[in-house]
Amino acid sequence: MSAVDGKDAGTPEQHMTRKPAGARAPGGTHASESVSEHVGESFDDNAGENLGDTVNESVGESHGTNADQPALPRRAASSIQLKGLHKRFGNEVAALDGVDLSIQPGEFFTLLGPSGCGKTTLLRILAGLEALDEGQVVIGGRDVTEVPPHQRSVNTVFQSYALFPHLSVRDNLAFGLKMRGVAPREREARVAEMAEFIKLGSLIDRRVDQLSGGQRQRIALARALVCEPDVLLLDEPLSALDAGLRSQIQIELLRLQKRLGMTFVFVTHDQQEAMVMSDRIAVLDSGSLQQVGSPREIYERPANAFVARFMGHANLFDVTARDDSRSDAIRLTTPLGVLTAQAPGTGSLLLLRPETLDLRRRPASEFERHDVLENHLPGRVQERLYRGSHAEYRVEVAGVSVQVVVNNRGGQLPEVGDQVDVVVAAQDLITLRG
Amino acid sequence: MAYHTTLATARSRAVVAESRHLLLTVAPGALWIIVFLVLPSLYLMSVAFMTNGPYGLPEMPLSLTSFQQLAGQGFLGWSPGNLMTLGRSLWQTVLSTVLVVLVAYPIAYYISQSDQRWRPIMLLAVVVPSWTNQVIRTFGWMNLLAPGTPLAELAEAMGMIAPNMGLYPSNFAVTLGLVYNFLPFMVLPLYAAFEKLNLSLVEAAQDLYASPLKTFWHAVFPQTLPGLLAGVVLVAIPAFGMYVIPELLGGGKGMMLGNLVANQFAGSANWPLGAAGAILMLIATFIGLYAMRRIGKRLGGGEEVVI
């Protein structure tokens, strides 16, 4: 990325090239100036993987500072309502089986699920590229169920980018505006503005087959954004990039969305990506919604075993009996032993996330004192995978294998063969439907 | 230093060995082309600059008489006949190529969108006629277009031809014959282009507000351009030099350059004039190819097809 931005924001020529764009914006020059201000920040060269843990903070910040001063978008974000979507391809199982969904204006909304779950079909239905068997699609208050794709104010960033190979970068960017009948002068201004915005101004006259994967990805994004759609649809736009570039563009994309305040609908099969980027996530499986919620809700309070497993490592055990007789706690009988929980819910499956568990080494002399401490499960370390920042354990408890992740705080990490207690916090215990 | 020299020597030795090897592989084919194409062509070209002898054989001295004759200069003064034949050849070539494109494009698209099982059969149906002898097929058209046939009577009823004339011999019959004859050569490359059509580009165009017509023009057509240009080359060049079809379906007013050339080597016995006609054909073909290349570059595709 750093190789492509030849210019830095703020040279006089660049201000000149941006002027016509500002003249067009309802906010006059203010809008164009705020664009130029943000160019430097938006695709930050230093935004590398190491920013991963601070990204939430910085995103919140940029959101705050830009809320009253939006950059590129000159129109309000749109909501989406989906009602009773059904879609079946030929005689196969339903690709979508009764999906109801409501997406808020300005939301970064992710459709997450394994391949074949219907997430891409859902996105294509939003774009109008796929016809519905049943149901209704409302975008920005307008029923677009029967509206063909070229009449929907929705643009897509395709997984394959789908850039026109016979056109230059400039003509690719201008394509949507041209088709919409935007006058040549305004078109050029907006294309130039967008090229600067994504820091690819120097490549504008290249042919797209002369660009790298990351550059193409940005052109695809810019080609969709320059049309200023009501909703931007992104179909696994990062899946073709290598890991380093991918996490960098994740952050850029996230910041961009917050700055634009545009409604993004993002499709991915990568739960990490979904959690990093989304305001809310819809988890799909076999054409139906499993759960809709914020990343934390989805990860920490999964609605069922599928969601729990899909979002990360999960220890799941059957609850064979429950005892509600104590007023302050509920006692659950599981294959691991009896556990005390505070508000576990009424499901029949116990979920223990590996990182909520802890390991305590237990001196051999104490080992006979079975289950003296509440929620201390005696076990033996079977396997340890040391990963530097943390270690992944496989511990045998009452003949059952339990996954535990222990942060490396510099203390002693139990070794294979050690007798340990797996410590479960009562407030972390939740149960799921099967 | 010594090491580098040795390396350089070894490398140049390898290059020599490789080129020798390459030469051996290429030699038979090259020899064939030289003996049966290049040398006869050179001879033919030299014939064009000779004088026509009393028995129609080329003789010395060298002259440009044959080119003057080609331009219409004869014993009885200037006549436009040859130039009209040239013009008719060009017109027939352009017209039939355009018609072939118009007919082949939907066929190729239809086949490419059909069920996988039927595609080979459909392609076969397009190709099989070209396995029969061209003369026989052209005789077939004569039977279809002759006076009294349903087609001729239909044309008569619509007032397009005089009573009892039949649809051939005519320029129309020649065009029809050319379109029919060259259809497979356009359908096949177009089908190949349609088959590997990148649908996501089509969807991207739709997504970017292109109406169906504009989607076709901006996202489908450019992708089929290499196939289209290949088809045009395969159709236009042989059509320009076509002999059998204008000979059988064209009559005196439907003559094309190929017939003019052939006549000089057979009936009229004027080899230098025939050779000059052949050179003219070559030049026209190269101009056509060059124009195609320019068009291909301009439209951004198919450069690899047109040399």
Chain A positions touching B301 (Cβ under 8 A) are 166
Q: Tell me: the pLDDT tens digits for B270-297? A: 888 888 888 888 888 888 888 888 877 7
What's the residue count for chain A? 434
A25 neighbors A32 (Cβ within 8 angstroms): yes
Contacts of A40 (CB under 8 A, 6+ apart): A8, A9, A10
Measured in angstroms, the CA of A164 and the nearest CA of chain B are apart by: 7
Q: Indicate if A370 and A415 belong to the same structural domain.
A: yes
Measured in angstroms, the CA of B201 and the nearest CA of chain A are apart by: 5
pLDDT tier at A175, thresholds 50, 70, 90: very high
Average pLDDT, chain A: 80
Chain B positions touching A150 (Cβ under 8 A) are 206-212, 215
Q: Is the pLDDT of residue A51 over 50?
A: no
Q: How far apart are CA A251 and CA B58, in angstroms?
A: 81
Q: Tell me: the pLDDT tens digits for A99-120? A: 999 999 999 999 999 988 999 9
Q: Indicate if A153 and A231 belong to the same structural domain.
A: yes
Q: Is the pLDDT of residue B251 over 90?
A: no
ipTM over 0.85: no
Average pLDDT value for residue range B210-220: 92
Q: Is residue A62 part of a domain?
A: no
Between B34 and B83, residue with greater pLDDT = B34
Residue-level pLDDT at B7: 66
Q: Indicate if A420 and A388 belong to the same structural domain.
A: yes
Q: Indicate if A172 and A227 belong to the same structural domain.
A: yes
A148 neighbors B207 (Cβ within 8 angstroms): no
pLDDT tier at A365, thresholds 50, 70, 90: low
Q: How far apart are CA B92 and CA B283, in angstroms?
A: 17
- At how many degrees (to 10) do helices A29-42 and A184-197 cross? 30
Q: Is residue A237 part of a domain?
A: yes
Q: Indicate if A262 and A344 belong to the same structural domain.
A: no
Q: Is the pLDDT of residue A73 over 70?
A: no
Q: How far apart are CA A31 and CA A197, in angstroms?
A: 13
Q: Indicate if A299 and A321 belong to the same structural domain.
A: no
Closest of A78, A122, A45 to residue A283, by C-alpha: A122
Residue-level pLDDT at B291: 85
* Measured CA angle at A32 (ends A29, A34), to 5 deg: 105
Q: Is residue A24 part of a domain?
A: no
B166 neighbors B148 (Cβ within 8 angstroms): yes
Measured in angstroms, the CA of A176 and the nearest CA of chain B are apart by: 4
Average pLDDT value for residue range B74-96: 83
pLDDT tier at A13, thresholds 50, 70, 90: very low
Q: Is residue A169 part of a domain?
A: yes
- Pick from B200, B219, B301: CB nearest A160: B200
The residue from A259, A288, A305 where one domain ends is A305
B189 neighbors B234 (Cβ within 8 angstroms): yes
Chain B positions touching A156 (Cβ under 8 A) are 203-204, 207
Q: Is the pLDDT of residue A368 over 70?
A: no
B282 neighbors B276 (Cβ within 8 angstroms): no
Q: How far apart are CA B245 and CA B138, in angstroms?
A: 6
Residue B214 touches chain A, beta carbons under 8 Å? yes
Q: Indicate if A286 and A329 belong to the same structural domain.
A: no
Contact A162 B203 (CB under 8 A): yes
pLDDT tier at B1, thresholds 50, 70, 90: low
Q: Indicate if A332 and A284 belong to the same structural domain.
A: no
Q: How far apart are CA B210 and CA A56, in angstroms?
A: 38
Q: Indicate if A334 and A356 belong to the same structural domain.
A: yes
Give strand ranges (E) for A311-365. Answer: 315-318, 321-323, 330-334, 337-341, 349-352, 358-361
- Pick from B203, B208, B301: CB nearest A176: B208
Chain A positions touching B200 (Cβ under 8 A) are 158, 160, 162
Residue-level pLDDT at A76: 73
The highest-confidence range among A266-275, A422-431, B37-46, by mean pLDDT, is A266-275
Size of interface A-B (CB pairs under 8 A): 66
Chain B positions touching A127 (Cβ under 8 A) are 203, 207
A360: CATH = 2.40.50.140
Containing structural domain, residue A252: 80-305
Residue-level pLDDT at B246: 84
Q: Is residue A321 part of a domain?
A: yes
Q: Which chain B residue's Cα is nearest to A166?
A: B300
Burial A312-326 (b: 16+ CB within 10 A, else e): bebbebebeeeeeee
Q: Is residue A44 part of a domain?
A: no
Between B289 and A69, residue with greater pLDDT = B289
Q: Indicate if A200 and A320 belong to the same structural domain.
A: no
Closest of A332, A333, A337, A326 to residue A373, by C-alpha: A337
The residue from A270, A305, A340 where one domain ends is A305
The residue from A305, A329, A353 where one domain ends is A305
Contact B219 A160 (CB under 8 A): no
- Pick from B201, B211, B300: CB nearest A150: B211
- For residue A414, what are the CA distances in angstroms to A118, A200, A292, A388, A422? 43, 51, 38, 14, 11
Q: Is residue A391 part of a domain?
A: yes
Closest of A92, A81, A79, A80 to residue A133, by C-alpha: A92
Q: Is the pLDDT of residue A6 over 60?
A: no
Q: Indicate if A291 and A345 belong to the same structural domain.
A: no
Q: Indicate if A200 and A329 belong to the same structural domain.
A: no
Counting the structural domains of chain A, the total is 2
Q: Tell me: the pLDDT tens digits for A378-402? A: 899 999 999 999 999 999 998 999 9
Q: Is residue A46 part of a domain?
A: no
R_g (Cα) of chain A, nearest Å:
26
A210: CATH = 3.40.50.300
